[in-house]
A and B are shown apart, each in its own frame.
Chain A
Amino acid sequence: MSQEAKPPEAPTVTFTVKAGHVSNPQTLEVHAAEGDLKPWDLDSKLRVVKGRQPRLDGKYKVTGRAKYTYDINMPGMLWAKMVRASVPAGQIVKIDTSKAEALPGVKTVWTTDSRSVRFAGQDVAAVAAVSPEAAEDAARLVEVTYDEAAYVTDLEKAMADDAPQVYEPDKVPGPKDVPKKGNVVGPTSPRRGGNRGDVAKGFAEAAVTVEETYSVPVHTHSPLETHGVIAKWEGDHLTVWASTQGVLTVRDGMAEALGVDRKNVTVITEHMGGGFGSKLAPSATGTAFAVVACKLAKQAGAPVKLMLDRREEHLCTGNAPSALMTVKIGAARDGTLTAVHYRSFGSAGIAGGAGTGGPAGALHGKCPNLKIEEHDVFTNAGPAAPLRAPGHPQGAFALESAVDEMADQLGLDPLEVRRKNEASPVRLIQYDVGAKAIGWERRNKKAGETAGPKKRGLGMANGNWYVFARGSGVGCEVRIHRDGSVEYFSGAQDIGTGFRTAMAMVVAEELGLKTTDIKPNVGDTRWPEGPASGGSNTTNSVAPAVRLAAHDAKMKLFAVAAPMLGVKPEQLDAADGKIFVTGSPGKSVGFKQAAAKMTGETISAVAERKKQYETYRGDLAGCQFAEVEVDTQTGVVRVVKMVSVNDCGFPINLLTTESQIIGAMIQGVSWALFENRVLDRNVGTMVNPNLESYKVLSAKDMFEAVPIVTEIANAGNNTSCAGIGEPCIVPTLGAVANAVFNASGARVRALPITPDRVLAALAAARRG
């Protein structure tokens, strides 16, 4: 989390840096913690960082050699399978495991202590057996008797006075002074942004107001590797191989749940098959499966593997809250916003956390009057988990659709309206870059004006995110061996972002080596601590510690090399595999030659991250442009091209940074056009818990995706990097919806934008 600007307490050292964007550099002072290095800035001559480096683990992944948690099998290992509640609400009367236990090959069972059922998919029982087939058979033999109760799965029905009471204040207390009525908790305001000015006054001053309601359904994370663990006890020591975004979170969670000392728990995540926010809990938000696996392993005296199946992954490991958002905005004739009133209701199932007001709090920063009201609505559905920029894609869809509607009413270019209200100097640069890349001048001046039934159009939307970093307690170890090989150790896990490669680039930059010279070691609680990978904070948290450790190791090696060159260590520099005298590159010794002279076998340096500096900007700017084709006869929408322009500070690895941006556009278009969790109102269970009727974007739906990184030297840490995973998915839904309108005149305010909704919106537009 970016820290509040406050007088420094610890000793500091002041650096002068050239920060910001190359087109508008700013000379700033950084009051860095003592011992930290001067941040890389616009003047830094970087050889490796900001380059394009293929992943170091790529060769293992493309040949099927990379071992994910799901791929680990060990001798004597048992296979576990869980039994989940088949009803959405009620009491468990009886769990009969006798038939399951009698099945040959079944070694042990677990049943829940909880009698209350609050959603279909909740943990009830588990079995462990000698084969996955036997475990699946045994799970089917567990007989559960329920006393069913009334339930509600629909957001708006849950808000009614006579709805079954799902909200339990003792379980989810929520903020103290917030109104709580039935299943509705709110209004609250987001932690960042918040309210300013007086919206009533702003609306009174407005020449035009727009007020519309928008909705987004629940999306499930659907990582391709499901949640799962292998738990193995050796005496009192527990080792857990976990498909997780946070090895430390799993370690602490298992220690607490099982009453084991943290130092007796090791958690390992070498390769991880996607999480998108769902794998931030010790087990998952809607299941304690990992704890159950550890208990089964203890009971059976054998390692236990428990991987959820695809259906379970949809039911109980998380989802993004639904949202029902009413946006009222007022503007002067020239597009200057006078007020924004943002009001949202959303359901995170039986949990809280359905707020979507973040974008309203951060975008259009020049608007003087802003009010945000968020409400959590409780339903009998699995608890939500953070999904890639929690609440922000939903909120930006509503806000940016409303701004587009305002521009249309005023007869103004929606991009010009945004420029007029823009407070971020970064986004002003991005508007020009993005408009040029998409060919913004090609947009329809009047929505749907193209002749013929297949109509093309352009739309754009903004997104925001924050510079998050764990500012302390994050470490890294760098080791230089006598043979000249180098490796680094970070407890943080690579969840598919390319983290391990990016950190190797930081080491290579500092040591003057090639990235391929560095061996990464990541994802293990026995190594220096790293953060859980959420909030786009991993690179930002760890890279500065990696640079410090590499720097310290280098200085130790310089002490070895200095006598070889007859100079002092401070006079040395490293590049191209050589250690040389600064200013006299001819006076050099090879990196390997120097290493061969070290007294021990290994030079090791461990460093801790210094605090995050609030120097340039604490927000991350982004905007996206979409070109779509709408078949006005069938209602089918096809995305033709998307351009995403994003700030992530300095990208460490431009190649993998771009891949994340491409991925965000794809996942965002998938949400905009296809994805929708369907809970059957008659039985209260999910009816599309698979990957064919829970449709995600496939190769045939693919469009031209153009990622553009706006490099910003933010000087917030010694590498000037920030995060990218989340900011780039915030604008996508709005950009697509606005492009659909520009192409066809169909304003679709409910996602996904399915053909029936397009045809209905076209009919509404014809009626005027």
Chain B
Amino acid sequence: MAHPSDKDDPAAPVVSRRTFLKTAGVGAAATSLAGVAIPAGAAVLGPGPVPLSLKINGAVKTVNVEPRVTLLRALRNHLDLTGAKEICDRGACGGCTVLFDGEPIASCLMLAADAEGHEITTVEGLGSPEAMSPVQAAFVEADALQCGFCTPGFVVASTALIRKNANPTLDDVKDGLAGNICRCGTYSRVFEAVQKAAKASARPAGRKA
């Protein structure tokens, strides 16, 4: 995309790994194009902190972060939403799972800037200690947690699973949680909790998961 002559122009802004390229009118954004010159119509954010407007758990929040900051770190270090965890930092463990327009994603693999204009739901947004969601309550009841560090990720992934599949089989649950790692070893009780929560949510009188 870069025009060769751009490289010769010392005044032309250059994208580095600390800046962020936003292409106007196009949903996609390119990142980490170190040394690549900027196409016409694109705005460069950073490298210093930039204000971002994020819709988290139904409320609009403004954060001032460097463009390279991930959604996970924006949540954890700038919004005090520390339920999601950075465990592997490369999308291998599911500990940072949040809902992105209702879909479970690894928030360690998404830049906060990419989350603008989307609905983000974290584990905190699903329920509170005083009013747990059916999935959260089922996790506690079935003892589907030990140290609990992976638990927020499992709760979010399980919630997404039940919303898509109200009556999951054991194999469906295993598929839905294939991206989440637990080191204490609670999988079987997590499966039990998810199937219980699905049943509770499926009842007409029951609340939605």
How does the 8 Å CB contact mask read for B72-116 relative to A, with 1 for contact and 0 for none? 010011001111110111101101000000000000000000000
Q: Which residue of B lies closest to A52 (CB)?
A: B143
Binds B, one of A9-17, A19-27, A446-454, A657-665: A657-665
Task: Judge whether B167 is part of the interface by a CB distance below 8 angstroms.
Answer: no
Cβ contact of B132, chosen from A62, A133, A665, A702, cutoff 8 A: A62
Q: How far is the CA of A68 from the CA of B181 in the complex (A)?
A: 18
- How far, in Å, is A728 (CB) from chain B's closest CB? 10
Contacts of B90 in A (CB 8 A): 690-692
Contacts of B180 in A (CB 8 A): 698-699
The answer to whether B188 touches A54, judged by C-beta atoms less than 8 angstroms apart, is: no
Cβ contact of B145, chosen from A61, A664, A696, cutoff 8 A: A61
- Residues 169-195 of B contacting A (Cβ, < 8 Å): 173-175, 177-178, 180-191
The answer to whether B147 touches A495, judged by C-beta atoms less than 8 angstroms apart, is: yes
How does the 8 Å CB contact mask read for A113-141 relative to B, with 1 for contact and 0 for none? 00000000000000000011100000000
The answer to whether B89 touches A702, judged by C-beta atoms less than 8 angstroms apart, is: no
The answer to whether A691 touches B186, judged by C-beta atoms less than 8 angstroms apart, is: no
Most buried by B among A63, A224, A705: A63
Most buried by B among A65, A273, A656: A273
Contacts of A57 in B (CB 8 A): 148
Q: Which residue of B lies closest to A271 (CB)?
A: B148
Task: Judge whether B119 is part of the interface by a CB distance below 8 angstroms.
Answer: no
- How far, in Å, is B80 (CB) from chain A's closest CB? 7
Q: How far is the CA of A156 from the CA of B151 in the complex (A)?
A: 41
Contacts of A698 in B (CB 8 A): 178, 180-181, 187
The answer to whether B181 touches A659, judged by C-beta atoms less than 8 angstroms apart, is: no
The answer to whether B181 touches A63, judged by C-beta atoms less than 8 angstroms apart, is: no
Q: How far is the CA of A273 from the CA of B147 in the complex (A)?
A: 5
Q: How far is the CA of A222 from the CA of B66 in the complex (A)?
A: 30
Q: Which residue of A lies closest to B193 (CB)?
A: A62
Q: Which residue of B lies closest to A222 (CB)?
A: B183
The answer to whether B136 touches A696, judged by C-beta atoms less than 8 angstroms apart, is: no
Contacts of A623 in B (CB 8 A): none
The answer to whether A667 touches B128, judged by C-beta atoms less than 8 angstroms apart, is: no
Contacts of A704 in B (CB 8 A): 188
The answer to whether A62 touches B155, judged by C-beta atoms less than 8 angstroms apart, is: yes
The answer to whether B146 touches A496, judged by C-beta atoms less than 8 angstroms apart, is: yes
Q: Which residue of B lies closest to A497 (CB)?
A: B146
- How far, in Å, is B139 (CB) from chain A's closest CB? 5
Contacts of A696 in B (CB 8 A): 181, 183
- How far, in Å, is B201 (CB) from chain A's closest CB? 15
Q: How far is the CA of A655 from the CA of B144 in the complex (A)?
A: 10
Given A59-B129, A310-B89: A663 and B140 within 8 A (CB)?
no
Task: Judge whether A360 is part of the interface by a CB distance below 8 angstroms.
Answer: no
- Residues 629-676 of A contacting B (Cβ, < 8 Å): 655-656, 658-660, 662-667
The answer to whether B146 touches A663, judged by C-beta atoms less than 8 angstroms apart, is: yes
Q: Which residue of A lies closest to B190 (CB)?
A: A699
- How far, in Å, is B193 (CB) from chain A's closest CB? 9
Q: How far is the CA of A60 from the CA of B147 in the complex (A)?
A: 12
Contacts of A70 in B (CB 8 A): 82, 85
What is the total number of residues of chain B having a CB less than 8 Å from a CB of chain A?
Answer: 60
Contacts of B140 in A (CB 8 A): 54-55, 58-59, 62
Contacts of B181 in A (CB 8 A): 224, 691, 696, 698
Given A273-B147, A692-B90, A698-B178: A663 and B68 within 8 A (CB)?
no
The answer to whether B77 touches A700, judged by C-beta atoms less than 8 angstroms apart, is: no
Q: How far is the CA of A66 from the CA of B183 in the complex (A)?
A: 18
Contacts of A471 in B (CB 8 A): none
Cβ contact of A64, chosen from B66, B68, B123, B187, cutoff 8 A: B123
Contacts of B33 in A (CB 8 A): none
Q: Which residue of A lies closest to B48 (CB)?
A: A104
Q: Which residue of A lies closest to B156 (CB)?
A: A64
Q: Which residue of B lies closest to A705 (CB)?
A: B188
The answer to whether B129 touches A309, judged by C-beta atoms less than 8 angstroms apart, is: no
Q: How far is the CA of A65 from the CA of B185 in the complex (A)?
A: 21
The answer to whether B186 touches A662, judged by C-beta atoms less than 8 angstroms apart, is: yes
Contacts of A690 in B (CB 8 A): 88, 90, 92
- Residues 563-614 of A contacting B (Cβ, < 8 Å): none
Task: Judge whether A223 is part of the interface by a CB distance below 8 angstroms.
Answer: yes
- How far, in Å, is B9 (CB) from chain A's closest CB? 27
- How far, in Å, is A243 (CB) from chain B's closest CB? 10
The answer to whether A132 touches B73, judged by C-beta atoms less than 8 angstroms apart, is: yes
Task: Judge whether B19 is part of the interface by a CB distance below 8 angstroms.
Answer: no
The answer to whether A61 touches B151, judged by C-beta atoms less than 8 angstroms apart, is: yes
Contacts of B139 in A (CB 8 A): 58, 62
The answer to whether A63 touches B123, judged by C-beta atoms less than 8 angstroms apart, is: yes
The answer to whether A702 touches B187, judged by C-beta atoms less than 8 angstroms apart, is: yes
- Residues 489-536 of A contacting B (Cβ, < 8 Å): 495-498
Task: Judge whether A225 is part of the interface by a CB distance below 8 angstroms.
Answer: yes
Task: Judge whether B127 is part of the interface by a CB distance below 8 angstroms.
Answer: yes
Q: How far is the CA of A495 from the CA of B84 in the complex (A)?
A: 19
Task: Judge whether A73 is part of the interface by a CB distance below 8 angstroms.
Answer: yes
Q: Which residue of B lies closest to A670 (CB)?
A: B185
Q: Which residue of B lies closest to A54 (CB)?
A: B140
Task: Judge whether A177 is part of the interface by a CB distance below 8 angstroms.
Answer: no
How does the 8 Å CB contact mask read for B137-168 relative to A, with 1 for contact and 0 for none? 10111010111111110010000000000000
Cβ contact of A225, chosen from B68, B147, B174, B175, cutoff 8 A: B147
Task: Judge whether A272 is part of the interface by a CB distance below 8 angstroms.
Answer: yes
Q: How far is the CA of A667 from the CA of B183 in the complex (A)?
A: 7
The answer to whether B187 touches A66, judged by C-beta atoms less than 8 angstroms apart, is: no
Cβ contact of A272, chosen from B82, B92, B147, B174, cutoff 8 A: B147
How does the 8 Å CB contact mask read for A289-320 relative to B, with 1 for contact and 0 for none? 00000000000000000000110000000000
The answer to whether A274 touches B122, judged by C-beta atoms less than 8 angstroms apart, is: no
Task: Judge whether B63 is part of the interface by a CB distance below 8 angstroms.
Answer: no
Q: How far is the CA of A427 from the CA of B92 in the complex (A)?
A: 40
Task: Judge whether A333 is part of the interface by a CB distance below 8 angstroms.
Answer: no
Contacts of B143 in A (CB 8 A): 54-55, 58, 498, 655-656, 658-659
Contacts of B145 in A (CB 8 A): 55, 58, 61-62
Q: Which residue of B lies closest to A653 (CB)?
A: B143
Task: Judge whether A445 is part of the interface by a CB distance below 8 angstroms.
Answer: no
Contacts of A59 in B (CB 8 A): 129, 132, 136, 140
Contacts of A161 in B (CB 8 A): none
Q: How far is the CA of A271 from the CA of B83 in the complex (A)?
A: 13
Task: Judge whether B69 is part of the interface by a CB distance below 8 angstroms.
Answer: yes
- How far, in Å, is B191 (CB) from chain A's closest CB? 7
Given A64-B83, A699-B178: A133 and B185 within 8 A (CB)?
no
Q: Can you report 16 A-B residue pairs in the complex whose CB atoms are below 8 A from each other?
A: A54-B141, A55-B145, A58-B140, A68-B82, A70-B85, A224-B181, A496-B184, A498-B146, A656-B146, A660-B146, A663-B146, A665-B185, A666-B185, A667-B183, A692-B92, A698-B178
Given A64-B124, A68-B149, A699-B173, 7 extra CB contacts under 8 A: A57-B148, A61-B148, A64-B122, A133-B68, A222-B183, A659-B143, A699-B190
Closest 9 A-B residue pairs measured CB to CB?
Answer: A64-B83, A496-B147, A666-B185, A663-B185, A273-B149, A61-B148, A58-B140, A71-B82, A64-B123
